Amino acid sequence: MSKITYNIIGVMSGTSLDGIDLIYATYHLDNSWNFKIHFAETIKYSKQWKTVLSSLVNQSMGQLQAIDLKYSEYLATVISAFINKHKIETIDFIASHGHTALHQPDDGITYQIGNQQILADILKEKVICDFRVQDVELGGQGAPLVPIGDRLLFNDYMYCLNLGGFANISFEFKTERIAYDICPVNIVLNHYVSKLNLEFDDKGQLASRGNVDEDLLLQLNGLPYYMEEPPKSLGLEWVDINMFPIIESYQLKTEDILRTFVEHAAIQISAVLVETSSQVLITGGGVYNSFLIDRLRHFSQVEIVILQNEIIEFKEALIFGLLGVLKERNEINCLKSVTGAKRNHSSGKLLIPKN
């Protein structure tokens, strides 16, 4: 394919419900892929949308489909406002992950809302989206999807670690890329902070004032998921069933829950960072939890690298843009070594605006 430069809007909404991440970036192929982010911003969710999105796992399929349509319309208005605000004129297509409603890959189920035809129709732009479904149909976990971007855009680092709703990691092992969800992070921390009418624990200050409950820590560290070999991935359903009931049973103060959970996350993440003196690139909202980063440094012997805010906050949106580019080129964007699918493949659904 002769085309080597693409101007893309990448869109991502994560399980931590921070908001919708949007980037406008140029991707250029010159022996290897490089990129330039022109504009990037996060559109915070309203309280109403946060409530809706946090309860998706409890909805019937009929209710989910109705929410899906409304969310696709909402996403279109958000993307349109982003385009108008930054006066963006050259767009090859929009690459959108949508928002995960259901993720039960072992049962062959994954559902991202926000990928309906109306998205392309309102925007009058081509959209490449719904990157998980094909992988699950091929027997894979449908996640994580970012590792192909780690390999192509950030291969200077031994480990690429993202601290979002979940901590996920990506690295080369022998001749293959390995990646998986390590443990929950912000999806749990933000849940308990919300009980104090806060969106997040600023710099981990609340957690730092709490005490570790050794019994709870031991029980969390003993969850069977941590013994499983990759490929593996986590979803909100898993947290609801396997983690919240354990934490609630201890009836601890919020600060002590946060402190114990930060310790748990730091222990689980550090257990993966086995190549001492190597570099780990850390991105995602968890980077701003200074206390969590300090605990990671305490338990591991790697060099933690934190780049500029654009990469910290928008790396996933950037990589979903690249996934769209690879799909457009009919090149592999989903690795079987990562997801456990039957084969490497080029995943994503194409939406063409109707006249």
CA distances from 31 to 4, 132, 152, 216, 222 (A): 10, 28, 11, 50, 45
pLDDT of 56 > 60? The answer is yes
**Higher-confidence position of 184 and 237:** 184
Sketch out the chain's domains with CATH numbers.
5-138+343-351 (3.30.420.40), 147-309 (3.30.420.40)
Of the CA atoms within 13 Å of residue 223, those in its CB half-sphere come to 22
At residue 355, does pLDDT exceed 80? Answer: no
Q: What percent of the chain has pLDDT over 90?
A: 88
pLDDT band at 144 (very low <50, low <70, confident <90, very high): confident
Query: What tokens appear for 334 in the block?
Result: 């989903």
pLDDT of the residue at 14: 82
Q: Please choose, from the candidates 340, 348, 338, 6, the residue with its C-alpha nearest in 3D space to the C-alpha of residue 148.
A: 338
* 117, amino acid identity: Q
**Length in residues, the chain:** 355
pLDDT 10s digits, 150-174: 999 999 999 999 999 999 999 998 8
Q: What is the pLDDT of residue 317?
A: 95
When the pLDDT of each residue in the chain is averaged and rounded to a whole number, the result is 95
Q: Is the peptide bond before 231 cis (omega within 30 degrees of 0)?
A: yes
Q: Model-level pTM?
A: 0.88
